[in-house]
Amino acid sequence: MITIRKGAFTMQFEVLQLTENRQPAKSVADFCKDITPEEELDRIRVHSIETSAYRKRGEGRPTKKDRRELDEFIS
Confidence of residue 12 (pLDDT cuts 50, 70, 90): very high
- For the chain, which residues make up each domain, given as ranges? 1-51
Query: Hey, which residues does 11 pair with through a beta bridge?
Result: 4
Amino acid at 67: R
**Complete edge-to-edge strand list for the sheet that includes strand 9-15:** 2-6, 9-15, 32-34
Confidence of residue 5 (pLDDT cuts 50, 70, 90): very high
Q: 3-state DSSP: the chain helix, strand, coil percent, rounded to 5?
A: 45, 20, 35
Per-residue pLDDT tens digits for 16-70: 999 999 999 999 999 999 999 999 999 999 988 877 666 666 677 888 998 899 8
Q: Three-state SS for 13?
A: strand
Element (H, E) at 28: helix 28-31
